[in-house]
Structure 1
Amino acid sequence: MIPEVGHYALIIALLMAAVQAVMPLAGAATRRPLWMAYAWPMATGQFLFLLLAYGCLTASYLLDDFSVINVANNANSMLPWYYKFSAVWGNHEGSVLLWSLILSAWTYAVSRFSRGLPPDMVARVLGVMGLVSLGFLAFVLFTSNPFDRSLPDVPADGADLNPLLQDFGLIVHPPMLYTGYVGFSVVFAFAIAALLSGRLDAAWTRWVRPWTNIAWAFLTVGIALGSWWAYYELGWGGWWFWDPVENASLLPWLAGTALIHSLAVSEKRGTFKSWTVLLAIMTFSLSLLGTFLVRSGVLTSVHAFANDPARGLFVLVLLGITVGASLLLFALRAPRVSRPGAFTWLSRDALLLVNNILLVVMTVTVLLGTIYPLILDAMKLGKISVGPPYFNALFVPLTVILCIFMGLGPVARWKRMAGRELLARLWLSGLVALLIAAVLPLVYHGEWDLKVSIGLAIALWLVLSLVRDLWDKSARSGSRWAGMKALTPAYWGMVIGHLGLAVTIIGVTLVSNYSVERNVRMAEGDSVDVSGIHFTMSHLEERRGPNYIAEVATLEVRRGGESSATSFVMTPEKRLYIARGMPMTQVALRPGLFQDLYVAMGEDLGDGSWALRIQIKPFVRWLWLGALLMAAGGLIAVVDRRYRRKQVDRQAQTDIAQVREEAAV
């Protein structure tokens, strides 16, 4: 009965999405307030019924209802309850349902917090989001129904969740990632609504920026969690492999980063409006492209969900309609909302434009490397693989150039600035960054390394330029402390976000160049030294988990000299999951702010010894610490008083009054 309730709830949500997609847009076009008013109750109802449907699917998992095909294929009676809970989205059907639920939650949030905006604008926004919901709910019901039954042939037990997904990472990573992905639909909807109405004013920009920042922050955390999960779960110690599905999440992040900076210019100077709208369309379109890549079966990846051409075709059609219709609308209506602005090529406007162009070039670089092999394969022109050498050769130099301009941007003035003034402000920061970056490799590793020095110089350049800007801005008040307190949350968000990027660059640079890896053969009583760290395998034992059997190695580790040695135990495992008969590596980690010790068990070598991979990963935690700082910067900027509802409403009323006065004249 529970699955049927969920199925009917999905159908009702689909019908509500159809009403939400048609009536508000038609009402805004014909100026009928009653039709526009349908948007609010339909958005609320759709969210509630999707919540009910999702709750029914979750209950089916927790109750081991193996008559539901989705449950039988992805759960098992021995599976711990918390993995049953996350298994709901650990498969194609459940993950699309979660995507639709999150989209309805964003839609409800827009309807709830948009009361002060013009009703026709909100009606158009909710109508566009209703169209997107309609497409995804149709996808769920017609190709990916999670409530399909196998009656009367009910299996005695389920096939179990893929062991790769039986991890805390599955609990936190997909919801974060999807919230970021889907959050860009709000900005997309506002961009389409602006094109339809021909109104892209300051109030629009102020209202859109918080939604963009929140979506971008969630996507940042989601990507970081995915990187962290892959690092310890897959057993090879890598944090990014340029996997096509990894790239699918990076693409909207790059475009969203450009969108955030473009919105800043549009709000401050009233320029880049067409560019902002185009980036909003591009960012959400890339989110849909990622959905297509993951669910079409065109990619073979540990991250991919589905292998069904029919599903892939449905998503491809949805992507084509979304991108094609929005770009056509942009081509027809963009001249009405654009406004040229005057600025010199040495100004913050110009530097932000250069940054945006570089981010778009980086996006295109990753996009081509990801889909080019697919295009060749589809055209029967052969199979090729585009891997890390391509991406590193192009993406890394572009990142260096981008960071150079990022250091200049905060210090530069809007509209125009003298070159001598910019040089006077930043020459010392640049010189200090170069000197420290040249010396640090010698101090840390005993020898100089050009790549390490370049990475450290870029990170220090970002940090020191921010320090100089803070120094200048805090000097405008009577005291430095008072000057810093007067700075806005939006400014502090920018500082923390750029600082986070610098921290991530330091982590990438040091872990990529100074990691130590050694593959060893060890049995009970064997010892090995790796970079001055002593490992001894004290014993091996078999251990049984709730749904697996594991071989566990106990390693006694001693670090440091005799007088200052620290010792601890690490226990890597090799698990065999009973239901699927699938072996998995459970990594032993000794995390630290400046260094990780990483041990993974390989294969049983047959004589009581095992293959072990021992790695030392310096500063690897800084990768994810930097990502968290970037996300925190995006969220801190949201609390700026300019984006509070009353402030935005007041500005919106002013803009509406100005429009009416112009119309009267």
Structure 2
Amino acid sequence: MIPEMGHFALIIGLALAFLLATVPAWGAWRRNTYAMALAPRLAIGLLVFVAISYGCLTVAFLQDDFSVSVVAANSNSLLPVIYKFSAVWGNHEGSLLLWALILCMWTAAVAIFSPQLPLLVLSRVLAVMGGVGVGFISFSLLTSNPFARLLPSIPADGNDLNPLLQDPGLIIHPPLLYMGYVGFSVAFAFAIAALLGGRMDASWARWSRPWTNVAWAFLTLGIMLGSWWAYYELGWGGWWFWDPVENASFMPWLAGTALVHSLAVTEKRGLFKSWTVLLAIFAFSLSLLGTFLVRSGVLTSVHAFATDPARGMFILVFLAIVVGGSLVLYALRAPAVSSRVSFSWVSRESLLLFNNVVFTVATLTVLFGTLFPLIVDALGMGKYSVGPPYFNAVFVPLMALLAPVMAFGPISRWKRDSTQRWKAELLLPGVAAVLCAITLPMLQADYNLWVALAVLLAAWLVFGLLRDTWFRMGGAAGFPRGLRRITPSYWGMVLAHLGFAACIIGVVATSQYAIEHDLKMSPGDTDSLAGYDFRFIEVAPVRGPNFLADEARFEVTRDGEFVAFMAPQKRRYLASGSIMTEAAIDPGVFRDLFVAMGEPIGDSGAWAIRLHYKPMIRWMWVGAIFMAFGAFTTVLDKRYRRQRSRAASAADGAEYAR
């Protein structure tokens, strides 16, 4: 009965999404205040019924209702409760319902937390999001029904959740990733609303900017958790592989980064209006493209969810409608909008323009590398593979171009600046950065030029930020009172740029200084790696809640002193019989020690063992956390919380109506 309730609630949700997509849009067209005022109520009602539907599916998993097809295929009575809860989205049907739920959450959040918006604008924004909701809920009901029954042949037990997904990372990684993916629908909706109103000015950028920052922050955390999850769960000791499905989430992040910076220019100076709208369309379109790649079966990946061509065709048609329709509207409306604001090439505007160009080119580079094998295969020209060598060769230099310019951004002035002032402001930070680049890599046995370059770029960015922050708070005379004069928007920028600097150090140091040993070891053997001695003590059987494992136990010492006890496992899951590697990691601020088990070798008790030394790898993830919290911090700026009077909102609405 509960699955039928969930199915019925989802059908009601589809009806409400259709009403949200049509009634407020009609009201905005006819200037019918009553129809427009229904938009927030419809948005909240949509969230309620989709949440009921999702709750019913969750109950089916928790109660081991194997009459539901998706429960039987992705759960098991032995599965721990925490993984039964996360197994709801550990499959195609459930993850799509989660996607729809998060879309409804964003829609309701816009309805509830946007009292400052003119009713005309709010109704258009919610109508666009309702239209997106119609597409995804229809996709769920027509091709991916999560409540399909296995009647009358109900299995006694389920097939089990993919062992790769039986991990705490699954509990938080997909929801955060979807919060970012789907969050760009808000920027898309504001952009379409601006195009429909024919008024693309600072107002729509100011309304859209906090939502875009929050979506970008969630996507940053989601990608970071995906990288961390791949690092410790897959047993490969890697953190990023340029997998096509990884690229599917990375491309919206790159486009979203350009959008975040472009919105700042549009809000502050009224520039790049048409370009900012196009970026909003581009970012959300890439989110839809990622959905198509993951769920169509055109890609083979450990991250892919579905292999049904019918589902892929549905998403492809939906993608064509959304992207094609929005681009047609853009082509009709955008040329009429021109900017009369000028700026010098030595100014903050020009630096942000350079930022946009670099991130857009980087996005297109990743897009080309991801789609090229698919296009060639579709044309019958054979099988091709585009791997890390291509992406590293073209992507890394683009980021190296971006880092030097980032130090100029915070200290530069709007409209017009001078190179002489830049020189005066950044001379001392530049000298300090060069000294760091010369001296810090010497702490390693081998001086590495790539690490020196990374230290130079990161130190240049950090010292430039410190110099600008010191200046803004009034120097020593203004400390600490001067800290109050600095806005949350500025602190958010500082945190995000510091995080980027940490990522540079982490990526380059790990890539250049990592050491790996693949070897055969028996109990009693010892191997030395990066000054650490790994002594293989024994292999012992271990029983988990739903698996049996062989656990290798290692004692790690350095210069005769105990460092860590590490116990990687080779697990066999009882329900599915799947064999999985569970790596053991001893984390640290400046290094990780990583041990993974391979296969047993012969009958001598020997095992294939993989040892890794990963220096400063956690700086990447800490840097990503800094970037995300920087984006969250910008939303605290008071200009985004300022309540507008009804008269001002009405005036804005009247202006949009002209």
- TM-score of the superposition, structure 1-length normalised? 0.96
Tell me if 1:205 matches 2:205.
yes
Describe the superposition over 1:538-563 as per-residue Cα deviations: whole angstroms up to 9, x where unpaired.
2211111111110011111112x24x
Name the SS of the counterpart of 1:381 in structure 2. coil
Tell whether the 8 Å contact from 2:205 to 2:266 is kept in structure 1 after alignment. Answer: yes
After superposition, residues 176-191 of structure 1 pair within 5 angstroms as 176-191=176-191
Deviation at 1:173, TM superposition (A): 0.1
CA distance in 2, matches of 1:216, 1:33: 33
Q: Secondary structure of the equivalent of 1:37? A: helix
1:608 maps to 605
SS of the residue aligned with 1:38? Answer: helix
Partner of 2:229: 229
CA distance 1:278–1:340, shift in 2 (3 Å): farther
Give the superposition deviation at 1:566.
2.8
1:593 aligns with: 589
Shift, 1:431, TM fit: 2.7
Cα contact 2:292–2:315 (8 A) shared by 1: yes
Deviations 1:383-407 (A, max 9, x none): 1100000010010000010111111
- Partner secondary structure for residue 486 of structure 2: coil
Task: Quote the residue 2:455 is aligned against.
Answer: 456
Number of aligned residues: 657
What is the aligned partner in structure 2 of residue 569 from structure 1?
A: 565
Displacement of 1:457:
1.0
- Structure-1 residue corresponding to 2:427: 427
Alpha-carbon distance in structure 2 between the residues aligned to 1:596 and 1:410: 34
Partner of 1:503: 502
* 1:75-133 per-position Cα deviation (integer Å, ceiling 9, x unaligned): 01100011010000000000000000000010011111122311111010000000000
One-letter amino acid of the counterpart of residue 473, structure 1: R
Q: Deviations over 1:184-211 (max 9, x none)?
A: 1011001100110112343322221110
Q: Match for residue 329 of structure 2?
A: 329
Q: Does 1:136 align with 2:136?
A: yes
What displacement does 1:283 show?
0.6
Secondary structure, counterpart of 1:318 in structure 2: helix
Distance 1:395 1:537 in 2: 40
CA contact (8 A) 2:201 2:273 kept: no
Q: Superposition pairs for residues 229-628 of structure 1, below 5 Å?
A: 229-443=229-443, 445-475=444-474, 479-559=478-558, 561-562=559-560, 565-606=561-602, 607-628=604-625
Q: Which amino acid aligns with 2:634?
A: A
**Aligned AA (1:297):** G
Match of 1:639 among 636, 641, 645: 636
User: How far, CA to CA, are the matches of 1:29 and 1:568 in structure 2?
Assistant: 68
Task: Give, in whole Å, the separation in 2 of the partners of 1:35 and 1:347.
Answer: 46
Match of 2:44 in 1: 44
* Residue aligned with 1:23, SS: helix
Q: Secondary structure at the match of 1:271?
A: coil
Letter paired with 1:215: A
CA distance in 2 between partners of 1:74 and 1:53 (Å): 18
Looking at structure 2, the residues matched to 274 and 655 of structure 1 have their Cα atoms a distance apart, in angstroms, of 24
1:335 is displaced (CA, Å) by 3.1
Cα distance, 1:657 vs structure 2: 4.0
User: Is 2:121–2:653's contact at 8 Å kept on the other side of the alignment?
Assistant: no
Specify every segment of 5 or more residues in structure 1 that has no aligned partner in the other structure, as ranges.
none
- CA drift of 1:473 comes to 1.6
CA gap of 1:582–1:663, structure 2 versus 1, over 3 A, is closer
Q: What's the secondary structure of 2:114's corresponding residue? A: coil
Structure 2 runs not aligned, ≥5 long: none
Tell me the alpha carbon deviations over residues 305-344 of structure 1, each in whole angstroms, 9 at most, x when there is no partner: 0001000000011111111100110111113444232001
Q: Secondary structure at the match of 1:546?
A: coil
Using the alignment, how far apart are the partners of 1:231 and 1:170 within structure 2?
13
Correspondence for 2:84: 84
DSSP 3-state at the match of 2:480 = helix
Per the alignment, residue 53 of structure 1 pairs with 53
Checking the alignment, whether the CA contact within 8 Å between 1:348 and 1:409 is kept in structure 2 is yes
Alpha carbons of structure 1 residues 476 and 429: separation in structure 2 relative to 1, 3 Å = closer
Identity %: 58
Paired with 2:475 and 2:556, the residues of 1 have a C-alpha distance of 55
1:493 and 1:634 in contact (8 A); partners too: yes
Whole-angstrom CA distance in 1 between matches of 2:417 and 2:175: 44
* CA distance 1:279–1:663, change in 2 (3 Å): closer
Deviation (angstroms), 1:427: 2.5
Q: After superposition, what is the alpha-carbon deviation per residue over 1:213-255, rounded to whole angstroms, capped at 9, x for unaligned?
A: 1101000000000000000000011000000010111101111
**What's the offset of the Cα at 1:567?**
3.6
> Do the aligned partners of 2:555 and 2:562 also contact (CA within 8 Å) in 1?
no
Shift of 1:304: 0.4
The structural deviation recorded for 1:661 is: 8.9
Deviation at 1:432, TM superposition (A): 2.1
Q: In the superposition, relative to structure 1, how do residues 644 and 337 fare at CA in structure 2: closer, same or farther (>3 Å)? A: farther
- Cα distance in 2 for partners of 1:496, 1:44 equals 34
- Which residue in 2 is equivalent to 1:168? 168
Bigger mean CA deviation after superposition, 654-663 or 572-581: 654-663
1:201–1:655 CA contact under 8 A, matched in 2: no
SS in 2 for 1:383: coil
How far does residue 659 in structure 1 lie from its aligned partner after superposition?
Answer: 8.4
Q: What is the rounded CA distance, in whole Å, between the counterparts of 1:51 and 1:656 in structure 2?
A: 33
1:430 Cα deviation after fit: 2.0
Structure 1 distance, partners of 2:507, 2:187, is 31
Cα distance between partner residues in 2 of 1:93 and 1:246:
20
* In 2: Cα distance, 1:477 partner to 1:582 partner: 62
Distance 1:459 1:383 in 2: 40
Question: Structure 1 residues 5, 661: closer, same or farther in 2, change over 3 A?
Answer: closer
Distance 1:448 1:189, change over 3 A: same
For 1:634 and 1:79, how far apart are their aligned partners in 2? 37
Q: Which amino acid aligns with 2:582?
A: Q
1:486 to partner: Cα distance: 0.7
Distance 1:502 1:78, change over 3 A: same
8 Å CA contact retained: 1:522, 1:537: yes
Counterpart of 1:614, as a letter, is L
